[in-house]
Amino acid sequence: MKPQNFPEKLVWYSLVGTYGLYLLGANYIAMSIVIWVLAFYLFKKLWQQNYNTPNNEKIIITPTIWVWIISMLVMEVSLIAAHIDFDLGIGKIVTSSINWARTWAYLALFPLIGCLKIRPQLIYRAICIICLQSLIFIPLCYIASQLHLPNILYNSPLHLIGGNSSLMYNVALYGFEEETNQIRLQLFTPWAPALGLTGCIYFFLANQESDRKWRFIGIIGSIAMILSSFSRLSMLCLAIVPCFSWLIGNFIKPKVQILSGIICFVAGIFATKLINFIQDFKEQFSKVRASSSRIREILGRVALERWNEAPIWGHGFVDPKGPAIATFMPIGSHHTWFGILFEKGLVGAFSLLFPFLWSLIDLIHKYHKIHTAKVSLSILLVLFFFTFGENIETLAYLYWPGLLIMGMAFKEKI
C-alpha cells in the first residue's frame, strides 16, 4: 500500500508518523498544518477545474458537506457576536477565531478534504500501522510505571508558539488515578479519555482493512488503546455502537421492524424492571469514577446556569477557571453540548445538532449502497456519544481520519 498522489502522501505520512510527531510534541501543530495545506490544495483544484476537466478529476462538494461548512461558519458568527456582546475587543476576537480554525473548522474541513482523490484503503492500512505501534508502546509504558519513571517526560517548547492547553504538548508515559488506583495510558493523546475516543474511531476504521493480518492487528491494537485508557464511555461505545449502527442502517427492512416491535412490546411489559436496571447501571457507571462524575455534573450544572446570561450567542469562550468544588476545571469543558451552550448559545448548539441529524439521514440513505457509509455511521454515533463526555471539537486533530472517511461517504452519490 503506497500513496499515489500529493494528498495521499500527506495523509499517509502524517498518520504513520503519529508517534514520531508525538515524541516531538508536534502532533497538534502538525495536524493544523496538514489540514490547511490540504484545504488550500483543494481550493486550488476547485479554482483550476473547468468544463474540460475530466469527471473523475472534478471536485464536487455535495449538500451534506455544504451543511457542515455553513454550520461551522455559523459557529464563527456566533463567536464574533458573543465577543461583541461582551465587548471583549478585537484582539480577543482574533485569538478566539484562530482557536475556531483549529477546532470547530476541522469538523467541516476534513470531510471537505474527503472530496480529494484519497483511497479509503490507504487510511485503513495507516490506522492499522498506528495500532501496531501502539501495541509496542503500551507494554513499554506499563514497564515505565512499574519502574517508577517520571510519568511526564517533558513538555515540548512548541507550546510557546502553538497555543491552546500545554497538555497538547506533553510527552507522557502514563498517568495514575488515585481514586481507582489505576494506571491510565494516554499514548499520543493529551489525556486518557481522548485515547479512548481515538481508539473507538480506530477500531471501526481498522475493521474495514481488507488484509486479514493487518485487520487483526488493527482491531487488537485499537481495543488495547481503549482498555489501557480505562475510559468508561469508550468501552460502552465499543459494546453498543455496532448494534446501534446495524439497527439504524437496517431499520427499513420489514424483518427488523417486526423484531423491533416485538422487543418494544416485551420491554413495555417489563418496563419497571427495565427502568430500574438502567438506573442501576447509570449509578454503577458513575461510581466507577465517582469524583470524575461529580465534577462533570457540577460543571454541566454551572454551564447551564451561566448560559442564561447569554442564551442566544453565548459567552464566546470557555471560562478558564471554574468553581473550587469542581477543582477549578474550566466552565464549558467535559461536555460538548453544555460547553457549546455556554460558549455559543442556542445558535451554536443548533449549528452542531443540525449537521449531525442531516449526516445521520444521509448515511442511513447510503448504508446499503456505499461501503464507506457503514463505517461512517459508526463513527458518527461514536462522536455523538462522546459529545456527552468530551469536547469533541478540541480532539478533532486526533480522530481526523474518521472525519476524512465520513467526507468520502458524503461525496458519493447514489
Tens digits of per-residue pLDDT, 336-355? 898 899 889 999 999 999 99
Residue 156 lies in a domain: yes
Residue 107 lies in a domain: yes
Residue 87 lies in a domain: yes
Is the pLDDT score of 32 beyond 70?
yes
Enter the DSSP assignment of 105.
T
Provide mean pLDDT across the span 345-374. 94
Residue 378 lies in a domain: yes
Q: Which three cell numbers stand for residue 263?
A: 422487543
Span of 7-16, 120-129, 299-308, 393-402 with lowest mean pLDDT? 299-308
Confidence of residue 287 (pLDDT cuts 50, 70, 90): low
Is the pLDDT score of 96 beyond 80?
yes
User: How far apart, in whole angstroms, are the C-alpha atoms of residue 303 and residue 301?
Assistant: 5
**pLDDT reported for residue 336:** 87
Provide mean pLDDT across the span 311-315. 89
CA dihedral 263, 266, 268, 272 (to 10 degrees): -120
Is the pLDDT score of 13 beyond 90?
yes
Residue 356 lies in a domain: yes
Is the pLDDT score of 356 beyond 70?
yes
- Sign of the CA dihedral with 244 first, then 250, 252, and 257 last: negative
**pLDDT reported for residue 60:** 87
Span of 88-92, 224-228, 393-397 with lowest mean pLDDT? 88-92
**pLDDT reported for residue 218:** 97
Confidence of residue 288 (pLDDT cuts 50, 70, 90): low
**pLDDT reported for residue 269:** 79
What Cα–Cα distance (Å) separates residue 33 from each residue in 9, 30, 254, 342?
14, 5, 48, 29
**pLDDT reported for residue 138:** 96
What Cα–Cα distance (Å) separates residue 130 from each residue in 13, 118, 395?
11, 18, 17
Count of structural domains, the chain? 1
Q: What are phi and psi of 368, to 5 degrees?
A: -95, 0
User: How far apart, in whole angstroms, are the C-alpha atoms of residue 399 and residue 103?
Assistant: 12
Is the pLDDT score of 293 beyond 80?
no
Look at the block and give the residue holding cell 421492524. 257
Residue 280 lies in a domain: yes
Span of 106-120, 124-138, 246-260, 324-338 with lowest mean pLDDT? 324-338
Q: Which three cell numbers stand for residue 118?
A: 484519497
Q: Which domain holds residue 126?
A: 6-411
Provide mean pLDDT across the span 151-175. 84
Q: What spatial distance separates the first Cα and last Cα of the chain, rounded to whole Å?
A: 28
**pLDDT reported for residue 74:** 96
Mean pLDDT of all residues in the chain?
A: 89
| DSSP per-residue codes, 262-291 | HHHHHHHHTHHHHHHHHHHHHHHHHHTTHH
pTM: 0.92
Enter the DSSP assignment of 319.
B
User: How far apart, in whole angstroms, are the C-alpha atoms of residue 131 and residue 202?
Assistant: 8
Residue 1 lies in a domain: no
Residue 350 lies in a domain: yes
Q: Which of 250, 262, 325 has its CA nearest to residue 295? A: 325
| The Cα angle at residue 18 between residues 360 and 407, in degrees rounded to 5 | 25
Q: Which residues on neighbouring strands pair with residue 175, listed in sequence order?
A: 184
**pLDDT reported for residue 181:** 78
Confidence of residue 326 (pLDDT cuts 50, 70, 90): low
Contacts of 205 (CB under 8 A, 6+ apart): 123, 124, 127, 218, 375, 379, 401, 402, 405
Look at the block and give the residue holding cell 494528498. 7
CA 260 centroid distance within chain: 30
User: In this prediction, what percent of the chain has a pLDDT beyond 90?
Assistant: 57
Q: Which three cell numbers stand for residue 126?
A: 495507516
- Sign of the CA dihedral with 150 first, then 153, 154, and 156 last: negative
Is the pLDDT score of 109 beyond 90?
yes
| CB contact at 8 A, 393 and 383 | no
Provide mean pLDDT across the span 258-278. 77
Enter the DSSP assignment of 156.
-
